Amino acid sequence: MTEPTGTSKDDQEPTGGTQSSAEESGAAQAEHRAAGGTEPEAGEVEQTPDPTGIAAAPEGGTRLAPTRERSGMFGVRGSGDTSGFGGLRLPGYAPAPAERPYGGWFDELADELAEAFDRRGIARSAVRQITIDRGEITFYVEPQRILEVCRALRDEPDLRFELCSSVSGVDYTAPDGAEVDQPLHVVYHLLSMTWRRRIRLEVALDPADPHVPSVVSVYPTADWHERETWDMFGVVFDGHPALTRILMPDDWQGHPQRKDYPLGGIPVEYKGAEIPPPDERRAYS
């Protein structure tokens, strides 16, 4: 963190700054930092993706697909053009793979996880990618391996993630219709009370076939979380004891938190002007 009196953006140009660097891919971010950009936080690791770096990570893996491209209009940054019609196209954001050393307890954890995988006969490729961002570590896991990975994380004495804080979904479908590979994600937040660590597991699914094994047999608390994720995102948790809707009525059609599901609402008249419903108002981002 920076000093309490200021922020990291104090010395930045109003139209540029750290935000634009974070918009870009990891490589561009590294260049930006090499050119005197903001330093990473203490205790964290600067992420410079590089093919050998990925291979050096014990789990290996492939880059995740970028989410959505961002372009022009009022979100334009990094150029002197403030007219809003720059036609600038920014690449979509994809979480950058972390490179060794991760810093802090992240290295220890990754090593212990890799050893646990070996002991339990889980392929190391079960973890596609490790991302460290803002002091939080994310393991991108192969969907079919999530149950074994969770069991290893809970039972191994060096890992001991006793508590599953939350399971939920994220729909990364781009609002502008850009192609996003496997946009439907399920996110697991695990907490180790023994070691006082938090990690995040994430699996990416294809909306046409959103199947992932249920972790209820390892974490009974995931029961309602998975039901909610089914209800809201239509993710099918195979092996769940009773995968039914939980918040929406039983006979509801559709999965409301998907991005293609409309928010709904009616226009409201206020002092003679008609205000459109929230999802039809002008969006700036």
Partner 1 sequence: MSTTDPYSAQERETTEGTVYTVTGGDWDELLDSVSTDEHDDRIVINMGPQHPSTHGVLRLVLELEGETVTQARSVIGYLHTGIEKNCEYRTWTQGVTFVTRMDYLAPLFNEAAYCLGVEKLLDVEVPRRAQLIRVLLMEINRIGSHLVCLATGGMELGALTGMTAGFREREEVLHLLEYLTGLRMNHAFIRPGGLAQDLPEDWKEKVLDFVKVMKSRLPDYDNLLTGQPIWKQRLEGVGYLPVDGCLALGATGPILRSAGLAWDLRKIEPYSSYEEFEFEVPTATEADCYARYRLRVAEIHESLKIIEQACAKIEPGSVMVEDRKIAWPAQLSIGSDGMGNSLEHVRKIMGQSMESLIHHFKLVTEGFHVPPGQVYSTVESPRGELGYHLVSDGGTRPVRVHVRDPSFVNLQTMPAMSEGGMVADVIAAVASIDPVMGGVDR
Q: Which residues bind partner 1 (CB under 8 A)?
A: 1-10, 14, 17-19, 22-23, 41, 67-68, 70, 74-75, 77, 93, 95, 133-136, 138, 162-166, 168-172, 187, 189, 193, 196, 198, 200, 219-221, 223-225, 232, 245-249, 256-257, 263, 278-279, 281, 283-285
How far apart, in Å, are the Cα atoms of 252 and each of 30, 131, 237, 241, 257? 47, 37, 19, 20, 13
Cβ proximity of 109 and 160 under 8 Å:
no
Closest alpha carbon to 78 in 18, 37, 20: 20
Of 52 and 266, nearer to partner 1 (C-beta) is: 266
If 0-12 CB within 10 Å is exposed, 13-18 middle and 19+ buried, where does residue 81 land? middle
Of 101 and 262, nearer to partner 1 (C-beta) is: 262
Cα–Cα distance measured from residue 29 to residue 31, given in angstroms and rounded to the nearest whole number: 5
Cα–Cα distance measured from residue 8 to residue 76, given in angstroms and rounded to the nearest whole number: 20
Closest alpha carbon to 131 in 193, 64, 213, 205: 64
Of 143 and 169, nearer to partner 1 (C-beta) is: 169
Of 78 and 117, nearer to partner 1 (C-beta) is: 78
Bridging pattern class, strands 211-213 and 236-238 = parallel
Shortest distance in whole angstroms from residue 159 CB to partner 1: 15
Shortest distance in whole angstroms from residue 55 CB to partner 1: 24
Of 59 and 223, nearer to partner 1 (C-beta) is: 223
Cα–Cα distance measured from residue 239 to residue 163, given in angstroms and rounded to the nearest whole number: 20
Shortest distance in whole angstroms from residue 166 CB to partner 1: 4
Shortest distance in whole angstroms from residue 69 CB to partner 1: 10
Residue 255 structure tokens? 């999965």
Of 165 and 182, nearer to partner 1 (C-beta) is: 165
Shortest distance in whole angstroms from residue 118 CB to partner 1: 27
If 0-12 CB within 10 Å is exposed, 13-18 middle and 19+ buried, where does residue 1 land? exposed
Shortest distance in whole angstroms from residue 178 CB to partner 1: 11
Of 17 and 213, nearer to partner 1 (C-beta) is: 17
Question: Token match 């050119």: residue?
Answer: 35
